[in-house]
Amino acid sequence: MAAMAARLHLLCPPTISRPSLLFPKLSLSPRSSRIRKVSTFPRLCSGADHSPQSASSSAVSGGSIVGDLLDYLNESWTQFHATAEAKRQLIDAGFHLLNENDEWNLKPGGRYFFTRNMSCLIAFAVGERYGVGSGFHVIAAHTDSPCLKLKPKSASTKSNYLMVNVQTYGGGLWHTWFDRDLSVAGRVIVRDSDGSFLHKLVKIKRPLLRVPTLAIHLDRTVNKDGFKPNLETHLIPLLSTKPDETPAESKEKGATISSRPVHHPLLLQILSDEVGCCADDIMSIELNLWGWK
């Protein structure tokens, strides 16, 4: 059962990286003792009327499950954020966090969960009358969704532009990623002062990147044949123009390819400012792109 459960990904929302689902924001009325905060960042919502009057009437008419689902989706920027939010909600609901390396002392009526790799979560409840050999029910889902992911070596430069190499993940509507503000979210691995490594969630809440479409004279058949971009060469976001080189950097032009940075120092500086560490302490990153608006 443990081997089977380890392969199951529970509680999967579409993350905010789906650009076609983004709306400016969603406000719902407070329910019971919980105060709902209104964010100025993009929010997910359904196709129904989302005026304040509609949201209020929905809450009064028993729409609390929908409101909780929207809260969950709005926090699930990436698979890592989805798992972290599910973990928080389970702890609030009285579930006990387990460690895979410990010996478990499960009791009838108990509710438990554990996580793996910050992206997989397994939650289960033991029935009050459960006996050895009794059956069990499994509900499985995934925590990720189609998006653009940064490649392990993302730094790229062309025509005096700093570019970020990405790869498509899943079956996305990739044409919707062009000509819009994009940003990044995910996790970074940071070296602590004692030499240990920490995993930290990160989400940059401002536009950073953009994938421009080609000018018509570079794609003259687009109106006749449709928009058919090459996902390897055309779907590369621009980060910034290339800064002027210092004399020291000019001397390093002849450096080998292996000595070139894996990620642009500018991107690492943005991430380090967000998580509160030095750029040199960022050992690795695992980031998804998401659509700003």
State how far the Cα of 29 lies from the Cα of 66, in Å rounded to an integer: 12
Buried b (16+ CB within 10 A) or exposed e, 248-269: eeeeeeeeeeeeeeebbebbbe
The per-residue pLDDT for range 212-238, each reduced to its tens digit, is 998 889 888 989 999 988 899 899 999
Predicted local confidence at residue 64, as pLDDT: 83
Predicted local confidence at residue 132, as pLDDT: 81
Predicted local confidence at residue 204, as pLDDT: 95
Predicted local confidence at residue 98, as pLDDT: 97
The per-residue pLDDT for range 51-106, each reduced to its tens digit, is 444 444 444 434 588 988 898 988 999 999 999 999 999 999 999 999 999 999 99
Give one word for 276, left, alpha or beta, with left for phi > 0 and alpha for psi -120 to 50: left
Predicted local confidence at residue 251, as pLDDT: 56
Q: Considering the entire predicted model, what is its pTM? A: 0.71
pLDDT at 6 over 80: no
CB 38 within 8 A of CB 29: no
